[in-house]
Amino acid sequence: MDTIQAVKNRILRLCEEHGLTINALATVSALPPSSVKNILYGKSQNPKLLTIKMICDGLGITLGEFFNTSEFNDLEQEVK
């Protein structure tokens, strides 16, 4: 799994845990729905950290909580 897929999976899992649709997540995160959808549907291959931070703020979690999962901890090094 690559980093982009891990971010997508994490956002989808957090939406499920919080009972939010993608549009509702965008609303609570003060983001346009297209920003979240672009990450989830692969149009954005390099989402900005600020966008991820806004998603975290909308969910009431920290960046550390967002990234502190086995999925991120087990990613292979991308620079070889």
- The whole-number pLDDT of residue 78 equals 78
Helix (H, G, I), strand (E, B) or coil at 4: helix
DSSP state of 80: -
- The whole-number pLDDT of residue 30 equals 97
Domains of the chain by residue range: 3-73
This model's pTM is above 0.85: yes
- The whole-number pLDDT of residue 77 equals 82
Q: How do residues 5-64 score in pLDDT, each as one tens digit?
A: 999 999 999 999 999 999 999 999 999 999 999 999 989 889 999 999 999 999 999 999
- The whole-number pLDDT of residue 55 equals 98
Q: Residue 80 pLDDT more than 80?
A: no
- Alpha carbons 47 and 56: distance in angstroms, whole number: 14
The CATH fold of domain 3-73: 434 Repressor (Amino-terminal Domain) (1.10.260)
